[in-house]
Amino acid sequence: MAMATAHPTSRAPARWQDYVQLLKPRVMSLVVFTALTGLVCADTRLNPILAGVAILCVAVGAGASGALNMWYDADIDAKMRRTRGRPVPAGRVQGADALALGIVLSLFSVMLMGMAVNWFAAGLLAFTIGFYAVVYTMWLKRWTAQNIVIGGLAGALPPVIGWAAATGTAPLNAWLLCAIIFMWTPPHFWALSLYTSEDYAKAGVPMMPVVKGAASTRAQILIYSLILIPICLAPAATGLGGPIYLGVAALGGLVFLLLAFRLYRSRAGEAADPRNDDGLYDVRAGARDARNLFAFSILYLALLFATLLGEHLTGVAPLELLR
Amino acid sequence: MSDPFREGEDFAKARRGRNIALALGLVVFVILVFVVTVIRMGGHVFDAY
């Protein structure tokens, strides 16, 4: 009997799909999209194969960050409903294997970026992987309620890497794309955390609703949204965005602000009052407002970057309001 | 008596899948390095011949 429990085949076999899951393909696709936008917006003629290699390196680097994150966070992932099915907490992949995959892919992506494209872009990619894996995952995430605010820099850098890959430089417009994602991250993640805060509390992750409460989080979402919209409009003034971009940013920004205001007025994230029969309904209604902003935030960011991408690929003249 | 350390069919299939994926990844990497080298050398890589 003891022999049977020590049997090496007693756990589920790791399939190659489990290793793909370690790379967080959905996050990777968003990173690829924003990096591609940065690369195209640079308006420089880069060899298309080298451009493809640059995007591949960003994708693999993002995947490496995901694997390192899943290795380190296996303990808290196991406690949350959303993440307990991931390969490491589910026992399909050993933590050491996830770590090895993350390190190997990090090295391959940075080295190939440096050799194929340029070392400035490679340096930015290495910084982004290190920032996400070490500064965010190992330090900020478990330590401060500002974790996703500061850690959001890692998710905001891919357009700068794309721009750097195309030109070897990182001008103001590249950092403007970075600023859009950076300021978008807090309202996006806090809206999600308002209806998943129980999970975060159970895992001991100091997300804003867990530490400061739902009301403070809703107020901060509104404040960040008010700062975000002017930043989203700025590319129309700096020669990066054209008239279509201005329209999308303005109209989408209005909807974003409306949803953020409705969320601010709601009771999202607050526990049901057991003395009130309608308590459960109230929480559901509040969660709906948080879900609406969460879902629209994804659409808004995708629309902004898709419009910029479309304008630069089709040659729509930028507005350059400040020139 | 069966060998307790004998690999089951599921494990063998999963391992085969992982090995094929790894092999494909390495082949793609080698091809990429070759193509990038040719492009970076500006087509002069074959001039010596």
CB contact set of A260 (below 8 Å; sequence gap of 6+)? A187, A221, A222, A225, A226, A293
CB A302 within 8 A of CB A254: no
Q: Is residue A122 part of a domain?
A: yes
Q: Is residue A1 part of a domain?
A: no
Structure tokens at A78: 């196991």
- Give Dmax (Cα) for chain B: 66
pTM for this entry: 0.88
CB contact set of A76 (below 8 Å; sequence gap of 6+)? A83, A142, A203, A204, A205
Contact B15 A49 (CB under 8 A): no
- For residue A1, the model assigns a pLDDT of 35
Structure tokens at A130: 């290190």
Contact A19 B18 (CB under 8 A): yes
What digits encode the pLDDT tens for the residues A9-36?
456 788 999 999 999 999 999 999 999 9
- For residue B45, the model assigns a pLDDT of 55
Instruction: Please check whether residues A313 and A216 belong to one and the same domain.
Output: yes
Instruction: Please check whether residues A181 and A319 belong to one and the same domain.
Output: yes
Instruction: Please check whether residues A126 and A176 belong to one and the same domain.
Output: no
Total of domains in chain A:
2
Helices (H), A170-213: 172-194, 197-203, 208-211
What digits encode the pLDDT tens for the residues A100-119?
999 999 999 999 999 999 99
Which residues of chain B lie closer than 8 angstroms to A116, CB-CB? Answer: 32, 36, 40
Last-in-domain residue among A125, A141, A169: A169
Instruction: Please check whether residues A58 and A197 belong to one and the same domain.
Output: no
Mean pLDDT score of chain A: 90
pLDDT at A3 over 50: no
Instruction: Please check whether residues A157 and A235 belong to one and the same domain.
Output: no
- For residue A273, the model assigns a pLDDT of 47
Q: Does A284 touch chain B (CB under 8 A)?
A: no
Q: Does A112 touch chain B (CB under 8 A)?
A: yes
- For residue B6, the model assigns a pLDDT of 73
Highest mean pLDDT among A246-255, B2-11, B39-48: A246-255
Task: In whole angstroms, give the CA distance from residue A3 to residue A182.
Answer: 53
Instruction: Please check whether residues A82 and A146 belong to one and the same domain.
Output: yes
Instruction: Please check whether residues A127 and A212 belong to one and the same domain.
Output: no
pLDDT at A274 over 70: no
Average pLDDT over residues A237-254: 96
Contact A112 B32 (CB under 8 A): yes
- For residue A2, the model assigns a pLDDT of 38
Task: In whole angstroms, give the CA distance from residue A57 to residue B23.
Answer: 19
CB A182 within 8 A of CB A46: no
Average pLDDT over residues A150-177: 97
Q: Is residue A43 part of a domain?
A: yes
Q: Tell me the nearest-neighbour CA distance from B48 into chain A, angstroms.
A: 22
Choose among A132, A122, A4, A111: nearest CA to A67: A132
Instruction: Please check whether residues A76 and A201 belong to one and the same domain.
Output: no
Q: Residues A265-301, buried b or exposed e (16+ Cβ, 10 A)?
A: ebbbbbeeeeeeeeeeebbeebbebbbbbbebbeebb
pLDDT at A70 over 60: yes
Percent of chain A exceeding pLDDT 70 equals 90
Residue A53 belongs to what domain range? 17-169
Q: Tell me the nearest-neighbour CA distance from A19 into chain B, angstroms.
A: 9
Instruction: Please check whether residues A30 and A158 belong to one and the same domain.
Output: yes
Contact B36 A19 (CB under 8 A): no
For chain B, list residues whose CB is within 8 angstroms of any CB belonging to chain A.
Answer: 4-5, 7-8, 10-11, 13-15, 17-18, 20-21, 29, 32-33, 35-36, 39-40
Last-in-domain residue among A119, A139, A169: A169
Instruction: Please check whether residues A27 and A110 belong to one and the same domain.
Output: yes
Q: Is residue A321 part of a domain?
A: yes
Residues counted in chain A:
323
Helices (H), A88-213: 95-116, 119-130, 141-143, 147-156, 158-167, 172-194, 197-203, 208-211
Q: Is residue A116 part of a domain?
A: yes
Q: Is residue A10 part of a domain?
A: no
Q: Is residue A5 part of a domain?
A: no
Choose among A280, A177, A297, A152: nearest CA to A238: A177
Contact A53 B32 (CB under 8 A): yes
What digits encode the pLDDT tens for the residues B15-44?
899 999 999 999 999 999 999 999 988 866
Instruction: Please check whether residues A29 and A73 belong to one and the same domain.
Output: yes
Q: Does A16 touch chain B (CB under 8 A)?
A: yes
Average pLDDT over residues A67-81: 95
Q: Is residue A85 part of a domain?
A: yes
Structure tokens at A157: 């850098």
Last-in-domain residue among A145, A169, A193: A169
Instruction: Please check whether residues A164 and A190 belong to one and the same domain.
Output: no
Q: Tell me the nearest-neighbour CA distance from A5 into chain B, angstroms.
A: 10
Average pLDDT over residues A86-90: 95
Contact B5 A15 (CB under 8 A): no
- Which of B4, B17, B21 lies at the smallest CB-CB distance from A7? B4
Query: How many helices and strands in chain A, by DSSP H and E?
Result: 16, 0
Please tell me which residue of chain B has the smallest CA distance to A13.
B11
- For residue B11, the model assigns a pLDDT of 85
Task: In whole angstroms, give the CA distance from residue B49 to residue B47.
Answer: 5
Confidence of residue A281 (pLDDT cuts 50, 70, 90): very low
pLDDT at A74 over 90: yes
Q: Tell me the nearest-neighbour CA distance from B24 into chain A, angstroms.
A: 12
Tell which of A5, A7, A16 to mutate to test the B interface (max B CBs under 10 Å).
Answer: A16
- For residue A287, the model assigns a pLDDT of 86
Residue numbers of A between 51 and 90 with CB closer than 8 Å to B: 53, 56
